[in-house]
Chains A and B, each alone.
Chain A
Amino acid sequence: MNLLEIKNLKMDFGKNADALRAVDGVSLTIGTGETVCLVGESGCGKTVTALSIARLVPTPPANYVGGEILLNGRDVLKMSNGELRSIRGGVVSYVFQEPGASLNPVFRIGNQIKESLKLHRPEKATNDEVIRLLKLVGIPAPESRIKNYPFEMSGGMQQRVMIAMALASEPKLLVADEPTTALDVTIQAQILDLLGELKQRLGMAILLITHNLGIVGDMADRVAVMYAGQIVELSPAKELLRRPLHPYTRALMASVPKLHGTAERLSAIPGNVPRIGNFPPGCRFAPRCPIAKPECSDKIPELVEVEAGRWVRCPFWKTP
């Protein structure tokens, strides 16, 4: 049994005539101890998909209209509030983009970590355990750091504290929603190394959300590429980086700046991500796609397994 199985998840914002489909038929599995990257431009539904795993998107305005999210075999969408509270933190923990905003500014960090312990491992809610966790995430001099307020720490340190908080409840799955976007490049590398190392030591699965293809290669076992609320390509990470199949993935890869080569201008994908509720008919990437054909606008292509383990939502993926 997979740790997480999202099956054909459909979620709207708003109801009836005003409904805007933010997530449209996303299916994704994560095995125990696996790292999956969810890649895509801003506004393509990555974050709401990830938040849905613990049903953290407030309903209303959100409205789940189909599919299921099986966490340890149990459907999150059917859980009671009490069950939800026990899986939040207990099975799946989150690390968010802005570490400074994720910590409550008026409490010392030691107390905040302890709060996480009290909820899920009350017998371990001690200073010693907090210090052990802070050591685990590589914070120097944790004994004196537990008295610090969040504003007294740097962004990288704050993010380490957030990771310690997320780990305090010993989750099976860590969802990291763009954990390094707000940090500078050297700190980014440190945080990603830390996540990779913790994954090895604690054997937890990681769902890493990013719009940076650069970190995919280091971290991920598999990659899901999202576009306009749908997964357009799902593939083992190494193969995807070596040979992207979907035209959108190819365009994304082409727009990553390279150190070598003589290109004068960075290549960019023409146009913008379509707004929710204003998706083009048929393939949603067609208006921006370099290999689009007239029939692309007829109906939405299916996500098809074209090679072993490689799923692509484009019938013309062989076209160069």
Chain B
Amino acid sequence: MNETDPIQNPTVEQPLSPWQLFWRRLKQRRFAMVGGVILIVLYLVALFAGFVAPYNYDRLDTNYSFHPPLWPKPAGFHLAIPRYEPGAGSFVYRVVPNDTKPLHFFIRGDEYKLFGLVPATIHLFGTGDEHYPVYLLGTDQFGRDVLSRLLYGSQISLSIGIIGILLSFTFGMIIGGISGYFSGWTDTVIMRLCELIMSIPALYLIISLRATFPPSMSSAQVYAMIIIILSFIGWASMARVIRGMALSLREQQFVLAARSLGQSHLRIIVRHILPNTFSYVIVAATLSVPYYILGEVVLSFLGVGIQEPNASWGNMLTAAQNTEYLRNFPWLLAPGAAIFITVLAFNFLGDGLRDAADTKSL
């Protein structure tokens, strides 16, 4: 027999996998790609916050409270950092003419720990002279660099979204899967519990849950507490949707086929039901991350979240509660802008993912 006979030996061309098709459709959505790139940059910067930030988040410079943002000016082949000195009146600064220092890159500065482990002193930029500070976004009332605090704060604010989603969606999917797959009284009990949690306004629930934890905790404990509180509230809505999908998926013939092969209930839920909900879950997760970021902001803003001197976007905004401050020192709102950009980027990406995951819209 002829080896190259196409009927006897057909060459099967490898078609695109669902993921490849998904990626191809996603690439066509420009807003989603922009959102995705912004998020990648934000998370990379958060990961290397110690390196990118010119100072430590708790470095005080009491001579320079409410220092205005300064911008380096090009001077020859380098960027020049102007020097400010206190002027007439409190928190009024003026530029010292013709007194600049060149901006250096990869310069030695405050000691920090990269990834919280590796001690390092090299920073992305700085002047190397403490009389010429680089306060790109100004300072707060204690003279702490707003940009550095923003970067350190992003570590907390951005990671809470991801970890919170992982936690609440894992629970939501498993509990919703069990609820929908078994239905009957299991379903009734779980769903009434979900409704109970969802019926309480989230803010009251957050505050009262906060009250169940001791008032003074280390920052790591507070961090874990915030994630637990937000996940505790978040799993219910996920479980409800997954339960609905599981209810319809359990009637699918491939579930019967899996049972007819002798697979256990748990394995059918995990291997056959839940993977079929992934296209929804990925979209929902992306669109829900902002709620977790905002949840942290709310808690910290109310003073029950991340505590000073640790920085988070929420507790940095606490300083912006004072209208007097806001009028005179608008740069304190920088974390608000960061939140705005992050939330918008997540929503753009989520919308694009939804369009790409929806196979009916080609």
B71 on interface, CB distance cutoff 8 Å:
no
A89 contacts B275, CB within 8 Å?
no
CB distance from A113 to the nearest CB of B (A): 10
Asked whether any CB of chain B lies closer than 8 Å to the CB of A85, the reply is yes
Interface-facing stretch out of A124-132, A137-145, A190-198? A137-145
- A221 sits at the interface (CB 8 A): no
Which of B225-233, B238-246, B255-263, B280-288 lies on the face that meets chain A? B255-263
Our pick among B11, B15, B260, B276 for the contact of A104 (Cβ within 8 Å) is B276
Contact with B along A142-157 (1 / 0, CB 8 A): 0011011100100000
Contact A140 B10 (CB under 8 A): yes
The count of residues in chain A whose C-beta lies closer than 8 Å to any C-beta of chain B is 37
**Separation in Å of the B3 CB from the closest CB of chain A?**
13
Known interface pairs A106-B275, A106-B278; A116-B17 also in contact (CB < 8 Å): no
Evaluate contact between B262 and A98: CB separation under 8 angstroms: no
In the complex, A116 Cα to B10 Cα: how many Å? 27
Chain A proximity of B343: nearest CB distance (Å): 30
Q: Name the interface residues of A73-105: CB closer than 8 Å to any CB of B.
A: 84-90, 93-94, 96-98, 101-105
A96-B253, A104-B254, A105-B276 in contact; A152/B261 too (CB < 8 A)? no
A55 to chain B, nearest CB (A): 10
Instruction: Say if the beta carbon of A54 comes within 8 Å of chain B.
Output: yes
A226 / chain B contacts, CB cutoff of 8 Å: none
Choose one: A84, A104, A147; the contact of B258 (CB below 8 Å). A104
CB distance from B284 to the nearest CB of A (A): 17
Residues of A within 8 A of B262 (CB): 84-90, 119-120, 169
From B10, B261, B275, A141 is in contact (CB under 8 Å) with B10
B261 touches A101 (CB 8 A): no
CB-defined contacts of B278 to chain A, threshold 8 Å: 106
Evaluate contact between B257 and A94: CB separation under 8 angstroms.
yes
Find out whether the CB atom of B259 lies under 8 angstroms from the CB atom of A144: no
Asked if A101 and B254 make an inter-chain contact with CB atoms under 8 angstroms apart, the answer reads yes
Q: Which of B248-279 contact A (CB under 8 A)?
A: 252-254, 256-264, 271-272, 275-276, 278
Residue pairs across A and B with Cβ atoms less than 8 A apart, 10 shown, are: A56-B260, A84-B262, A89-B260, A97-B253, A104-B276, A106-B275, A106-B278, A140-B10, A141-B12, A148-B15
- Name A residues whose Cβ lies closer than 8 Å to a Cβ of B: 54, 56, 84-90, 93-94, 96-98, 101-107, 115-116, 119-120, 140-141, 144-145, 147-149, 152, 162, 165-166, 169
State the B residues within 8 Å of A (CB).
8-12, 14-15, 17-18, 252-254, 256-264, 271-272, 275-276, 278
Report the 4 A-B pairs with minimum CB-CB distance, sorted nearest first.
A88-B262, A101-B253, A94-B260, A89-B262
Q: A115-B271, A149-B18 are in contact. List 20 more A-B contacts (CB 8 A).
A: A56-B256, A84-B262, A87-B262, A88-B260, A88-B261, A88-B262, A89-B261, A101-B254, A102-B253, A102-B254, A102-B257, A104-B276, A106-B275, A115-B263, A141-B9, A144-B12, A144-B14, A148-B12, A148-B15, A165-B257
